[in-house]
Amino acid sequence: MSKVFRLIPALGAVFFALIALAACGSSGSSGIPGNAVANVGGTTIPLSAVKHWVGVAAISSASGALAVHPAAPEPPSYTACIAHLEELYVKENKGKQMAPSAAKGQCESQYKSLLREVMGFLLTSQWVIGEANELGIHVSDAEVHKQFVKIADTQFTKPGEFEKFMTSSGQTASDLLLRVKLNLLSAKIQQQIVKAKANVTEAQIEKYYNENKSRFGQQEKRTVSLLRTATEAQAKAARKEIESGKSFASVAKKVSTDPTSAKQGGLIPELPKGEEEEPLNADLFSAPAKKLSAVVHTPFGYYVYEVVTIFPGSQQTLAQAKASIKAQLQQTGQQEALSKFVKNFKKKWLAKSNCATGYIVTDCKQYKGPKTATGTTE
């Protein structure tokens, strides 16, 4: 089915969301003539369109042996579909006959599955067309033709590929042009919805900066040599060894119980402020570089350290952060506007979609979901 509807754009995919469609309920179908299956805001969807797209979908979804001259399931008799299945069954099972009831059951199941997707496609396509008309959005024949040629040139690069696709897919030029038109209308609807959110004021930018300053700064970091002992006497002895000329690394490897740094000779590169426990953290970040510390006591033990390198913190100014803040606020505003629009869009057009009995799917006003364990409808 993905090949059939693959030209529906990203926004269309949000609009359409063909999920778990299921025929059920009664029609209550006002304004639906006998040759139609649904009425969407005054526009009817003819039965002929459903039959055509079910045939196209049957071809696209067929695979393996079924892909050879596939027969669309057509109720109520499913004659061609049954004959096709029985023929394949005989070939694959050395002349053994397939039970007629089994063949009909498969055809009925296939039809229901294809019908759900086709009805979803036709209904929501009409939603997009109707919404575009209400918003005053139009696409010209020239725009549709230009985009159609562009897509065809991209997807069919070898001579004869396009013609072969048209022959094998069961689609007409009108089918493809309709899908291109839906692409263009959906894109223009999206552009109109998000356009209003492209404007971000200076006050909004300044407010965001003041409330999120930490996001635009780099805190101070320090590379330190550090050792930890269990007792104060051990820490003082280690400090004395370093003062006497032994390297900090050699002493740390010998006596330190700090699991993070002992194997590296006590070295902790680019330590961020706040990672060590107090009062060690405060002591570390107030000490000068290249000076051996006094013994510092914490609940975890006794420390001796030396600051090797200081990496000062930095803070972007409002002017420096302005461009990124503006882009972020624009993106957030546009996403929120689009989400709100999609929610209202589906609610509005669902209420306008009346479907005939036997053609009721999720996108129909009459649809009632399966009951939950509590007896409510989903």
Residue 64: per-residue pLDDT? 60
11 by Cβ neighbours in 10 Å (0-12 / 13-18 / 19+) ranks as buried
Residue 72: per-residue pLDDT? 87
Which pLDDT tens digit goes with each residue over 88-113? 888 888 778 888 889 899 999 999 99
Residue 204: per-residue pLDDT? 95
Which pLDDT tens digit goes with each residue over 278-308? 999 999 999 999 999 999 999 999 999 999 9
54 by Cβ neighbours in 10 Å (0-12 / 13-18 / 19+) ranks as buried
Print burial letters for 271-298: b (CB count within 10 Å at least 16), e (below 16). Answer: beeeebeeebbebbbebeeeeebebbee
Which pLDDT tens digit goes with each residue over 306-319? 999 999 999 999 99
Which pLDDT tens digit goes with each residue over 121-166? 999 999 999 999 999 999 999 999 999 999 888 988 888 888 888 8
- H/E segment holding residue 309: strand 301-311
Residue 27: per-residue pLDDT? 37
Nearest to 266 by CA among 246, 244, 282: 246
Tokens encoding 361: 């799917």
CATH number of 220-312: 3.10.50.40
Binning the chain into helix, strand and coil, the percentages to the nearest 5 are 55, 15, 35
- The torsion angles phi and psi of 342, rounded to 5 degrees, stand at -60, -45
Question: pLDDT at residue 5 above 50?
Answer: no
Delimit the CATH 3.10.50.40 region(s) of the chain: 220-312
225 by Cβ neighbours in 10 Å (0-12 / 13-18 / 19+) ranks as buried
Nearest to 85 by CA among 120, 115, 110, 61: 110
CA distance 244 to 79: 100
> What is the band of 3 on the pLDDT scale with cuts at 50, 70, 90?
very low
